[in-house]
């Protein structure tokens, strides 16, 4: 299994102090910065767009992992890459023509990945597993931080790990010191955590997620 990485979700940080939050979370041991982009259509929430990604990029040292929860991500991937996204993941449930959009992400200089909602089978991502740099399995319904972990997605993580032993498999939603063990045992190696990491001592919370 590839190396374990912790990706705090900036959705739970103090947006009035993004620079300070980015510096603090990196000093606390973050490996990636997870950026949740929501379009108020694919999910019932509206968050961060390219100008804010560009602002984060100016103060970030770690790679930006941009999770596009958008109905039409194909229209925006080049703009997010230009703003400084290092990894761009798109949902298989979106309207995007998948092959074309993954290629567009690469062409724009970022690493492409796919995302599966909790009810979506691994079969939906199978044709592209050799063409992506990361597979993100949602362990909550996308849209909001602070929701309860959906354990049944562990089956999807296990199936993905069996199919792709060397792929970065990310899990997102409800990850904390209790749920992390099951996620890692199932084969996830990139752990997104928002509310858990930002509601306590950042370094201690990140350390508590480094299980193996």
| Pair 74, 96: CB distance under 8 Å | yes
| Pair 24, 16: CB distance under 8 Å | no
Of 172, 174, 179, 197, the one binding Zn ion by CB under 5 A: 172
Number of helices (H) and strands (E) in the chain: give both, helices first: 8, 8
Closest CA to 18 of 57, 74, 45: 57
Q: Does 91 participate in binding Zn ion (rule CB under 5 A)?
A: no
Q: Does 49 participate in binding ligand DX5 (rule CB under 6 A)?
A: no
> Which of 14, 36, 39, 185 is flagged as catalytic?
36
User: Which positions from 6 through 45 interact with Zn ion, judged by CB under 5 A?
Assistant: 36
Picked from Zn ion, ligand DX5, none, the partner binding residue 140 (CB below 5 to 8 A depending on kind) is ligand DX5
Q: Which is nearer to Zn ion, 39 or 172 (CB)?
A: 172
Which runs of E-coded beta strand occur in the chain?
5-8, 33-38, 64-69, 87-91, 111-116, 134-138, 168-172, 190-193
Choose the stretch contacting ligand DX5; rule: CB under 6 A; options: 57-65, 126-134, 141-149, 150-158.
Answer: 141-149
> Which of 39, 65, 168, 172 is flagged as catalytic?
172
End-to-end C-alpha distance for the chain, whole angstroms: 11
Q: For tokens 């199919």, what's the residue?
A: 163
Q: Which is nearer to ligand DX5, 71 or 103 (CB)?
A: 71
- Taking the complex as a whole, the smallest distance from the CB of residue 194 to Zn ion amounts, in Å, to 8
Q: How far is CA 73 from the centre of its chain?
A: 15
Q: Does 140 participate in binding ligand DX5 (rule CB under 6 A)?
A: yes
Report the alpha-carbon distance of residue 203 to residue 25 in Å, rounded. Answer: 8
Q: Which residues are catalytic?
A: 36, 172
Interaction site with ligand DX5 (CB under 6 A): 9, 11-12, 34, 36, 67, 140, 142-147, 172-175, 192-196
Interaction site with Zn ion (CB under 5 A): 36, 67, 172
């Amino acid at each position: 299994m590839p190396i374990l990485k912790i990706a705090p979700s900036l959705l739970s940080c103090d947006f009035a102090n993004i620079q300070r939050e980015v510096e603090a979370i990196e000093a606390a041991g973050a490996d990636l910065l997870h950026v949740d982009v929501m379009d108020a259509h694919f999910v019932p929430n509206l968050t961060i767009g390219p100008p804010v990604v560009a602002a984060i990029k100016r103060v970030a040292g770690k790679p930006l992992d941009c999770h596009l929860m958008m109905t039409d991500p194909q229209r925006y991937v080049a703009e997010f890459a230009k703003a400084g996204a290092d990894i761009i993941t798109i949902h298989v449930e979106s309207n995007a023509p998948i092959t074309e959009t993954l290629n567009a992400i690469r062409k724009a200089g970022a690493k492409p990945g796919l995302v599966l909602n909790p009810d979506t089978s691994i079969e939906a991502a199978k044709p592209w597993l050799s063409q992506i740099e990361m597979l993100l399995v949602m362990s909550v319904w996308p849209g909001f931080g602070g929701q309860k972990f959906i354990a049944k997605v562990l089956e999807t993580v296990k199936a993905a790990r069996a199919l792709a032993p060397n792929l970065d498999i990310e899990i997102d939603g409800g990850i904390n010191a209790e749920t992390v063990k099951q996620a890692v045992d199932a084969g996830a190696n990139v752990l997104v955590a928002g509310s858990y990491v930002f509601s306590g001592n950042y370094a201690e919370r990140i350390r508590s997620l480094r299980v193996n």
